């Protein structure tokens, strides 16, 4: 890792012109990213509250021309991306210097943000696809920043191929749409959407769910996420997880919910099933992951699964004639997108801080960072609280609203709803529970207790720019945790533009008290926080009350079960923490466990060394991707054998072609 | 103005004559470069002229319409890049001992002859003369393919000459049959094979014999364009030829052959309706893309990889031609131009890698981006163009081909093609990352880069970017070519 | 000459043309097949010569004479030069398809040629056009020869036979293509044979023989 080389490199570089140039470039890159982000935030907010803005450039993009239409839905996603970019940009100033980034990734980082800002602004099919591919190309370059490592190269190629596969599906869907509508602009397609045949609509739905779902990290095409996010530099991972995956959600909302309308009931059901399965699978993998960034990546799959579940609920309820509850589900989806952006950015930036300080991602080797990196620990704690969905965490309010919409679905004797809703409630509950476990593991094992390795012992706190970036993200988390009313007008503005999913109903009223007028639910996160704080103060005061009359605390050595000393290696590791859950879900996870016992040469009865290895591959990758790749290679080998270099065989092919032509021309 | 049509043929012939007299030296090499540039200039000047109708010269012997001018632009651009790079490339080959003065002399004479033959093929009005010119390109390039005089080069040259000549012979048979039906439709024997005569009499041509002729011409010109079933020479010839020649063959010759097929198609569609050649091009195109994508998966040689990529692109072009709408033809022409520039860029870089390692095995080359910034960037940009990434032009052309196919009710074909293109994408990305990224091996040889090759690479990168952003006046040219070829809306 | 004589001579030459092709399939010595090719060239030249004499038109007569010199003279001489002097070289190696099967396939291809050329005969009832199936059959047989023979030279002979067949078709149905095309085509054929001959020489030096099965190194 670069950081283990850091002392030597620093000694080499010294205070020379190279360090100064690196600082200049890092500041330029970070500043550009932040400024772009701020621009995006402003533009997005303006678009949500103002009229739709248009821009056409006919000479750009040969044979197509470029067209931008920024409406409230696009504006929301532009604003989210911009906000994430602001925090990441400031963070990058310090991170790039710490990790000695090359010049090319620093140049591409603002371009990546620009691409992401353009996707929701696109108003026609060619523009959308152009922005999408620009975003994908820039992200690929950034993932390959440290291409000297083999794992990075492998992850990059894997990511490139899966992104292309997703792009191809989206391309096919969108050109089918524009061919059926007779025009490229989204407004034209929306106007003709009702005239399209059921076959076209179904094909477009299936393709977009697969293609956009892949970008959002949903099963079954999610496997790039846990490979690419850990290998990318941490600011890039933050941007990808908190901003880029939202583009998949944006695509599903734009095409399947807005343009093609709420669709038949099976559309909503499909989204719900996909979302639920992704959520449970993602959180399960997060629970057993020992790589901190891989854990966070699977957590993204989980959260996007929850968002998709909410979208599916909104679609299903809207198609079943309950638009007011649908609006509530839609609010949950959008709010969760925002909240996830906040806490995932924070979590990844904190993980990056740990990586820069220790060079480690492996939770089994971290620990004891609370003393050495207090600010980072608090930051990660806030992010983990948000990811777990507990009260006072950023994700709590949106999950609560989602629960409310699922529980209060109308019981009009609709069997489908009667089945789907309780099962979804179960899935969300399971997800939340396992999510708490995975975050506790990440926080507890990674940051608390004693350090498990030398590198963790030598950790030092990050520079101010990185802490500032994390602080901004933490502030956003606090807003979503205590005062979601701040974003209420924005959500209202977006919902007004989505009448297909009940946007024209009363929906959710987000104020100090969260009210759901249609179903008589209410919650006040701010009051909850105040009550909790009061309770903590009361408990603290109560413990202090009798302290003067109690004997002073005495330090004694810890009981070590008869062993001489306690070493940090005897603490819980991430693997052992997750082991009970891994046993429960053994059939799904299918771990590959290996125990190797080495005896002494002199005696078979004395054990010298025991090695325990456990490998958890992604089961979807093993059972779905590997056979498909194998089939492609088998086909390729067949074609290869048919081209064996013999000029007679080649001429024979030509002769057969001639015979076919002669016969067909009759 | 009409004498302008003679420039693309005469300028390279003059260069060839000069080279025959003086052998390989700076003067003749730069005269060849000037000739290629003259082809480009003549095309550029004619751009606006041909949008209103065809231009004739030397009586009715030569004819230029928008398709001709497009092909002249492709030929001129790629020709300029290739001849410019040849200067430094051949000098380096002479220095390293891969060739001798006689070989360089032959190269200097055959390269401009090759350009002249291709130019004749696109400006000829008589499709019989067009056939002669295409066959002449086979003869001219046979020894260019065998330039290095190795066993592999001879094997490639033999297969190239035999398979291409058989294919083109079938095209001659088709041309003879077309002449036959044209005479029977009332044309005079001197003008029966003229394009404008054939277009005028198209409705009177006998359908049964025309169907036979069309099938034979599809096979024959498809052979030169690298389409199934006469595709088997492509990988061998393009991988054994010297890099500038590979660039010209991959980037221009395949497209010129396909342009000849488009000319025939415009006549046949009027006689038989669009159904026959549409079905034929679809079958041929899909099979070509399938075979190219499959063979890309198992590639171990980077020049063969680039050759199969050319084959895949020609298959895509055939499928676009099958769709036949105005957008499809315009997108096809943009694709041909973008592919030409991108392919020359990547072949020039590959040529330098071959010269450095004396091998074209992918496993032999590592860490190019670290070892040579310009060669690595040129190779990466070329690959990015080929896999269809923006901001390069093949993104726009592939997107437009997709839109055209969807609009022509060929959704299933589009889906299958996109899947196969993704398989090809995967192979190119995987092999590209193995060659470009990562740390180089400790004993890796230095990559030499002659000045003119570097200049050609830089120009190629700039052109790729420019074309990707905007096609400018070329958009109107492509669209008028589509209309003139009789594309449906 | 009268129409009946003209038709008779035309049918005879077409028959000889086809017969030469069948004999090339049958024989295995390289020198004999080159000689048969030369005789086929004579039969080919006879077609425009007969047409010219029948119509009293000097054009086809000149073309016929040029074809005679080229296809029956120059090209076979070039090919004979390329045949090696060693004894082993003079025979074709074991063909890929045995002689009996080859002749059966030849018969099938001839029947196919008759079927395929029906629309051409339907369009033009002239005597010359009715002989087209023979020329077409030679084309198909030539392709078969190229596919089934191992020697480089046999492939070159097959290619020339293919071109003979196409030229015969051209003469029979149209009285020859425009002069410039005929000239260009002949030049191309000449150059192609020249190239093939040179390559055969290089091949002998590089591979130590002209068996095409040795050319299998270029593959994936």
Kindly report the three-state secondary structure assignment for every residue of A449-492: CCCCCHHHHCCCCCCHHHHHHHHHHHHHHHHHHHCHHHHHHHHH
* pLDDT reported for residue A315: 92
User: What residue numbers bound the domain in which A580 lies?
Assistant: 262-541+569-611
Q: CB B156 to CB C218 under 8 A?
A: yes
Q: CB B184 to CB C123 under 8 A?
A: yes
Q: CB C219 to CB A648 under 8 A?
A: no
Q: Is the model's pLDDT at A205 over the cut of 90?
A: yes
Disruptive mutation site among A638, A645, A649, A656 for chain C (greatest number of C CBs within 10 Å): A645
Cis peptide before A664 (omega within 30 of 0): no
Q: How far is C6 from chain A (nearest CA, A)?
A: 30
Q: What are the domain boundaries of chain C? A: 3-214
State whether residue A645 sits within 8 Å of chain C by CB: yes
Distance between CA B423 and CA A64 in Å, rounded? Answer: 26
State whether residue A164 sits within 8 Å of chain B by CB: yes
How many C-beta neighbours within 10 Å does residue A569 have? 12
Q: CB B219 to CB A126 under 8 A?
A: no
Q: Is the ipTM of this complex over 0.90?
A: yes
Q: Which residues in chain B are closer than 8 Å to A137, comparing Cβ atoms?
A: 384, 389-390
Share of chain A above pLDDT 90, in %: 63
Q: What is the DSSP string of A219-239?
A: TTS-THHHHHHHHS-HHHHHH
Q: What is the average per-residue pLDDT within B152-157?
A: 90
Q: Which residues in chain A are closer than 8 Å to C143, comparing Cβ atoms?
A: 651, 654-655, 658
Q: CB A648 to CB C218 under 8 A?
A: no
Residue A344 Ramachandran class (φ > 0 left, ψ -120 to 50 alpha, else beta): alpha
The pLDDT tens digits for C120-130 are 988 887 878 88
* A597 and A626 fall within a common domain: no
State whether residue B472 sits within 8 Å of chain A by CB: yes
Please, which residues 104-143 of chain C have a Cβ atom closer than 8 Å to chain B?
116, 119-120, 122-124, 139, 143
* pLDDT reported for residue A174: 96
Choose the closest CB to C219 out of A643, A648, A665. Answer: A643
Disruptive mutation site among C192, C207, C217 for chain B (greatest number of B CBs within 10 Å): C192
Q: How far is B370 from chain C (nearest CA, A)?
A: 29
Distance between CA A276 and CA A404 in Å, rounded? Answer: 16
The pLDDT tens digits for A395-411 are 999 999 999 889 887 76
* A417 and A458 fall within a common domain: yes
Q: CB A176 to CB B166 under 8 A?
A: no
Q: What are the domain boundaries of chain B? A: 2-484
State whether residue C94 sits within 8 Å of chain A by CB: no
The pLDDT tens digits for B63-117 are 999 999 999 999 999 999 999 999 999 999 999 888 889 999 999 999 999 999 9
Q: Which residues in chain C are closer than 8 Å to A651, comparing Cβ atoms?
A: 143, 146-147
Choose the closest CB to B170 out of A156, A656, A658. Answer: A658
Place B472 in a pLDDT band, splitting at 50, 70 and 90: confident
| Average pLDDT over chain A, rounded to an integer | 90
| Minimum mean pLDDT range among A521-530, A625-634, C116-125 | A521-530
Q: Is the model's pLDDT at A332 over the cut of 70?
A: yes
Q: How far is C47 from chain B (nearest CA, A)?
A: 16
Q: What is the average per-residue pLDDT within C63-87?
A: 80
Choose the closest CB to C174 out of B180, B298, B304. Answer: B180
Backbone φ, ψ for residue B124 (5° rounding): -70, 140
State whether residue C203 sits within 8 Å of chain B by CB: yes
* pLDDT reported for residue C7: 87
* A633 and A498 fall within a common domain: no
| Average pLDDT over chain B, rounded to an integer | 93
pTM above 0.95, yes or no: no
Please, which residues 187-216 of chain A have a Cβ atom closer than 8 Å to chain B?
203
Inter-residue contact A374 to A301 (CB < 8 Å): no
Q: Is the model's pLDDT at A584 over the cut of 50?
A: yes
Q: What is the average per-residue pLDDT within B140-167?
A: 90
Choose the closest CB to A640 out of B232, B295, B469. Answer: B295
- Which chains contact C through at least 3 pairs of Cβ atoms less than 8 Å apart? A, B
Cis peptide before A374 (omega within 30 of 0): no
If one counts the domains in chain A, the total is: 2
Q: What is the average per-residue pLDDT within B433-443?
A: 91
Choose the closest CB to C116 out of A640, A646, A662. Answer: A662
Does a structural domain hold residue A150?
Answer: no
| Minimum mean pLDDT range among A20-29, A343-352, C156-165, C172-181 | C172-181
State whether residue B154 sits within 8 Å of chain A by CB: no
Of residues C173 and A410, which shows the higher confidence score? Answer: C173
Q: Is the model's pLDDT at B1 over the cut of 70?
A: no
* pLDDT reported for residue A5: 46
Q: Which residues in chain B are closer than 8 Å to C116, comparing Cβ atoms?
A: 212
Choose the closest CB to A655 out of C143, C212, C213. Answer: C143
* pLDDT reported for residue B166: 93
Place A16 in a pLDDT band, splitting at 50, 70 and 90: confident
State whether residue B470 sits within 8 Å of chain A by CB: yes
Give the residue among A215, A228, A229 at the shortest CA–CA distance from A165: A215
* A532 and A463 fall within a common domain: yes
Please, which residues 182-201 of chain C have a Cβ atom closer than 8 Å to chain B?
184-185, 187-188, 191-192, 195-196, 199
Give the pairing type, strands A592-599 and A521-523: unpaired
Q: CB B390 to CB A134 under 8 A?
A: yes
Q: Which residue does chain C place closest to A666, by CA atoms? A: C116
The pLDDT tens digits for A418-454 are 888 999 999 999 999 999 999 999 999 999 988 988 8
Q: CB A636 to CB B470 under 8 A?
A: no
Q: Is the model's pLDDT at A604 over the cut of 90?
A: no
Q: CB B407 to CB A179 under 8 A?
A: yes
Q: What is the average per-residue pLDDT within A539-552?
A: 82
Q: CB B193 to CB C124 under 8 A?
A: no
* A575 and A647 fall within a common domain: no
* A316 and A275 fall within a common domain: yes
* pLDDT reported for residue C51: 85
The pLDDT tens digits for B221-278 are 999 999 999 999 999 999 999 999 999 999 999 999 999 999 999 999 999 989 999 9
Place A519 in a pLDDT band, splitting at 50, 70 and 90: low
* pLDDT reported for residue A385: 94
Residue B149 Ramachandran class (φ > 0 left, ψ -120 to 50 alpha, else beta): left
Q: What is the average per-residue pLDDT within A247-255?
A: 95
* A597 and A628 fall within a common domain: no
| Minimum mean pLDDT range among A2-6, A621-625, B464-468, C161-165 | A2-6
Q: How far is A653 from chain C (nearest CA, A)?
A: 9
Q: Which residues in chain C are closer than 8 Å to A657, comparing Cβ atoms?
A: none
* A581 and A653 fall within a common domain: no
Q: Which residue does chain A place closest to C113, by CA atoms? A: A662
Q: Is the model's pLDDT at A74 over the cut of 90?
A: yes
Choose the closest CB to A644 out of C140, C150, C216. Answer: C216
Count of residues in chain A: 666
Give the residue among A444, A434, A420 at the shortest CA–CA distance from A368: A444
| Minimum mean pLDDT range among A72-86, B346-360, C166-180 | C166-180
Share of chain B above pLDDT 70, in %: 100
Q: Is the model's pLDDT at A3 over the cut of 50?
A: no
Give the pairing type, strands B55-57 and B62-64: antiparallel
* A658 and A579 fall within a common domain: no
Distance between CA C122 and CA C134 in Å, rounded? Answer: 16
Q: Is the model's pLDDT at A6 over the cut of 70?
A: no
- Which chains contact A through at least 3 pairs of Cβ atoms less than 8 Å apart? B, C
- Can you list the pairs that B203-207 forms with residues at least 24 positions away whose Cβ atoms lie under 8 Å? B203/B270, B203/B271, B205/B181, B205/B267, B205/B271, B206/B181, B206/C119, B206/C123, B207/B271, B207/B272
State whether residue A633 sits within 8 Å of chain B by CB: yes
Backbone φ, ψ for residue A149 (5° rounding): -95, 135
DSSP state of A51: P
* A606 and A624 fall within a common domain: no
Disruptive mutation site among B137, B139, B271 for chain C (greatest number of C CBs within 10 Å): B139
Of residues A589 and A280, which shows the higher confidence score? Answer: A280
Q: CB B209 to CB C123 under 8 A?
A: yes
Does a structural domain hold residue A421?
Answer: yes
* A443 and A528 fall within a common domain: yes
Q: Which residue does chain A place closest to C212, by CA atoms? A: A647
Inter-residue contact B277 to B303 (CB < 8 Å): no
Q: CB A651 to CB C143 under 8 A?
A: yes
Distance between CA B422 and CA A112 in Å, rounded? Answer: 23
Q: Which residues in chain A are closer than 8 Å to B291, comparing Cβ atoms?
A: 639, 643
Give the residue among A420, A190, A212, A426 at the shortest CA–CA distance from A316: A420
Counting Cα atoms < 13 Å in the Cβ hemisphere of A116 gives: 36
Place A1 in a pLDDT band, splitting at 50, 70 and 90: very low
Q: What is the average per-residue pLDDT within A578-584?
A: 89
Does a structural domain hold residue A640?
Answer: yes
Q: Which residues contact C101 (CB under 8 A, 6 or more apart)?
A: none
Q: What is the DSSP string of A90-149?
A: HHHHHHHHHHT--HHHHHHHHHHHHHHHHTTTB-BHHHHHHHHHHHHHHHHHHHGGGTTS
Q: CB A651 to CB B166 under 8 A?
A: yes
Of residues A507 and B460, which shows the higher confidence score? Answer: B460
* A493 and A599 fall within a common domain: yes
Give the residue among C174, C198, C177 at the shortest CA–CA distance from C186: C177
Choose the closest CB to C215 out of A640, A647, A666. Answer: A647
Inter-residue contact C131 to C122 (CB < 8 Å): no
Q: Residue B205: enclosing H or E segment and its boundaries?
A: none
């Amino acid at each position: 890792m670069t950081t283990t080389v850091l002392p030597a490199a620093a000694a080499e570089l010294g205070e020379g012109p190279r360090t100064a140039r690196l600082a200049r470039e890092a500041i330029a890159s970070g500043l550009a990213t932040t400024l772009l982000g701020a621009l995006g935030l402003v533009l997005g907010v303006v678009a949500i509250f103002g009229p739709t803005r248009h821009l056409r450039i006919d000479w750009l993009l040969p044979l197509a021309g470029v067209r931008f239409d920024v409406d409230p839905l696009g504006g929301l996603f532009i604003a989210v991306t911009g906000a994430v970019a602001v925090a990441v940009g400031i963070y990058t100033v310090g991170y790039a210097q710490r990790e000695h980034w090359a010049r090319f990734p620093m140049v591409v980082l603002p371009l990546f943000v620009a691409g992401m800002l353009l996707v929701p602004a696109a108003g026609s099919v060619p523009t959308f696809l152009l922005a999408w591919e620009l975003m994908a190309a820039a992200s690929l370059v950034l993932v390959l920043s440290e291409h000297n490592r083999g794992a990075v190269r492998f992850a990059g190629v894997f990511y490139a191929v899966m992104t292309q596969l997703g792009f191809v599906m989206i391309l096919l869907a969108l050109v089918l749409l524009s061919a059926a509508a007779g025009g490229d602009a989204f407004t034209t397609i929306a106007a003709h959407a009702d005239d399209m045949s059921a076959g076209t609509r179904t094909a477009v739905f299936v393709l977009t769910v697969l293609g956009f779902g892949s970008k959002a990290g949903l099963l079954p095409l999610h496997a790039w996420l846990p490979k690419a996010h850990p290998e990318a530099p941490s600011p890039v991972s933050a941007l990808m997880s908190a901003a880029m995956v939202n583009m998949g959600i944006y695509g599903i909302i734009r095409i399947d919910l807005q343009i093609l309308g709420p669709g038949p009931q099976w559309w909503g059901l499909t989204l719900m099933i996909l979302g639920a399965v992704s959520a449970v699978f993602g959180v399960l993998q997060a629970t057993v992951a020992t790589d901190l960034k891989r854990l966070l990546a699977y957590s993204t799959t989980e959260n996007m699964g929850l968002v998709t579940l909410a979208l599916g609920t909104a679609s299903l309820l809207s198609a079943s004639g309950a638009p007011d509850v649908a609006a509530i589900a839609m609010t949950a989806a959008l709010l969760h997108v925002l909240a996830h952006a906040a806490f995932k950015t924070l979590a990844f930036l904190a993980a990056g801080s740990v990586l820069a300080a220790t060079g480690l991602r492996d939770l089994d080797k971290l620990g004891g960072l609370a003393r050495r990196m207090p600010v980072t620990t608090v930051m990660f704690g806030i992010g983990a609280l948000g990811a777990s969905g507990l009260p006072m965490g950023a994700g709590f309010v949106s999950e609560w609203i989602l629960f409310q919409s699922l529980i209060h679905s109308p019981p009009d004797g609709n069997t489908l709803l009667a089945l789907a809703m309780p099962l979804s409630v179960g899935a969300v509950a399971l997800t939340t529970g396992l999510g708490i476990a995975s975050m506790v593991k990440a926080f507890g094992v990674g940051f608390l207790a004693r350090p498990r390795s030398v590198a963790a012992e030598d950790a030092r706190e990050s520079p101010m720019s990185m802490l500032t970036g994390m602080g901004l993200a933490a502030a956003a988390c606090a807003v979503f945790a205590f005062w979601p009313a701040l974003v209420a007008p924005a959500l209202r503005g977006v919902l007004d533009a989505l009448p297909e999913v009940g946007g024209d109903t009363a929906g959710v009223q987000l104020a100090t008290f969260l009210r759901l007028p249609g179903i008589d639910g209410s919650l006040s996160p701010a009051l909850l926080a105040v009550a909790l704080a009061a309770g903590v103060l009361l408990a603290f005061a109560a413990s202090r009350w009798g302290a003067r009359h109690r004997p002073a605390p005495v330090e004694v050595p810890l009981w070590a079960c008869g062993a001489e000393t306690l070493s940090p290696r005897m603490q819980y590791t991430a693997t052992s923490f997750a082991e009970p859950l891994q046993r429960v879900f053994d059939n799904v996870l299918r771990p590959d466990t290996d125990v190797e016992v080495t005896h002494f040469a002199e005696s078979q009865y004395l054990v010298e060394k025991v090695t325990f290895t456990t490998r958890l591959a992604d089961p979807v990758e093993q059972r779905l991707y590997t056979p498909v790749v194998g089939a492609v290679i088998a086909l390729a080998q067949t074609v290869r054998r048919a081209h064996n270099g013999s000029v007679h065989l080649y001429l024979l092919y030509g002769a057969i072609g001639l015979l076919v032509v002669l016969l067909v021309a009759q | 103005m009409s004498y302008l049509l003679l420039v693309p043929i005469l300028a390279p012939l003059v260069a060839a004559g000069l080279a025959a007299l003086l052998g390989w030296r700076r003067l003749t090499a730069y005269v060849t470069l000037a000739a290629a540039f003259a082809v480009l200039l003549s095309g550029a000047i004619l751009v606006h002229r041909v949008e209103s109708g065809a231009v004739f010269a030397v009586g009715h012997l030569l004819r230029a319409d928008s398709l001709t001018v497009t092909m002249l632009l492709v030929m001129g651009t790629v020709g300029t890049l290739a001849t410019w790079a040849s200067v430094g490339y051949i000098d380096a080959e002479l220095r390293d001992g891969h060739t001798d003065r006689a070989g360089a002399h032959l190269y200097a004479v055959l390269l401009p002859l090759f350009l002249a033959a291709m130019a004749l093929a696109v400006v000829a009005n008589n499709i019989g003369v067009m056939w002669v010119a295409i066959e002449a390109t086979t003869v001219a390039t046979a020894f260019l393919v065998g330039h290095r005089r190795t066993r592999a080069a001879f094997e490639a040259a033999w297969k190239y000459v035999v398979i291409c000549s058989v294919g083109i012979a079938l095209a001659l048979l088709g041309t003879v049959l077309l002449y036959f039906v044209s005479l029977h439709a009332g044309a005079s024997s001197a003008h029966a094979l003229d394009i404008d005569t054939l277009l005028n009499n198209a409705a009177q041509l006998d359908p049964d014999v025309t169907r036979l002729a069309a099938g034979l011409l599809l096979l024959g010109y498809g052979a030169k364009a690298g389409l199934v079933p006469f595709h088997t020479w492509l990988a061998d010839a393009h991988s054994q030829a010297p890099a500038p020649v590979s660039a010209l063959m991959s980037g221009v010759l395949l497209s010129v052959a396909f342009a000849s097929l488009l000319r025939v198609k415009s006549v046949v569609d009027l006689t038989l309706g669009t159904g026959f050649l549409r079905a034929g091009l679809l079958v041929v195109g899909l099979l070509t893309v399938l075979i190219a994508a499959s063979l890309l998966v198992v590639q171990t040689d980077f020049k063969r990889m680039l050759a199969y990529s050319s084959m895949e692109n020609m298959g895509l072009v055939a499928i676009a031609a099958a769709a036949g709408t105005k957008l499809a033809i315009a997108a096809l022409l943009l694709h041909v131009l973008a592919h030409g520039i991108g392919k020359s860029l990547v072949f020039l870089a590959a040529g330098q890698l071959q010269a450095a390692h004396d091998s074209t095995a992918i496993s032999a080359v590592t860490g190019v981006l670290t070892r040579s910034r310009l060669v690595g960037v040129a190779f990466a940009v070329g690959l990015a163009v080929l896999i269809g990434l923006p901001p390069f032009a093949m993104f726009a052309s592939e997107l437009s081909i997709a839109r055209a196919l969807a609009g022509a009710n060929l959704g299933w074909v589009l889906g299958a093609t996109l899947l196969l293109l993704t398989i090809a994408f995967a192979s190119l990305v995987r092999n590209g990352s193995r060659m470009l990224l990562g740390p180089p091996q400790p004993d890796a040889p230095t990559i030499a880069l002659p000045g003119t090759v570097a200049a050609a690479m830089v120009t190629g990168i700039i052109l790729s970017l420019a074309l990707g952003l905007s096609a400018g006046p070329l958009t109107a040219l492509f669209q008028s070519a589509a209309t003139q070829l009789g594309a449906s809306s | 000459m009268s129409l009946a004589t003209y038709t008779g001579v035309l049918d005879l030459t077409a028959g000889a043309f086809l017969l030469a092709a069948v004999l090339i399939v049958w024989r295995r010595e390289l020198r004999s097949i080159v000689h048969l090719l030369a005789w086929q060239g004579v039969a080919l030249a006879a077609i425009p010569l007969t047409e010219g004499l029948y119509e009293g038109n000097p054009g086809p007569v000149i073309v016929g004479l040029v074809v005679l010199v080229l296809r029956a003279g120059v090209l076979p001489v070039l090919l004979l030069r390329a045949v090696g002097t060693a004894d082993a070289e003079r025979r074709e190696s074991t063909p890929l398809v045995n002689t009996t099967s080859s002749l059966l396939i030849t018969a099938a291809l001839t029947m196919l040629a008759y079927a395929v050329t029906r629309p051409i005969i339907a369009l033009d009832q002239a005597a010359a056009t009715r002989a087209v199936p023979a020329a077409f059959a030679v084309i198909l047989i030539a392709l078969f020869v190229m596919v089934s023979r191992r020697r480089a030279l046999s492939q070159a002979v097959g290619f020339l036979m293919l071109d003979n067949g196409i030229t015969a078709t051209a003469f029979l149905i149209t009285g020859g293509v425009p002069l410039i095309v005929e000239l260009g085509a002949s030049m191309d054929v000449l150059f192609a044979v020249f190239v093939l001959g040179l390559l055969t020489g290089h091949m002998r030096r590089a591979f130590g023989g002209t068996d095409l099965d040795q050319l299998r190194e270029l593959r994936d």
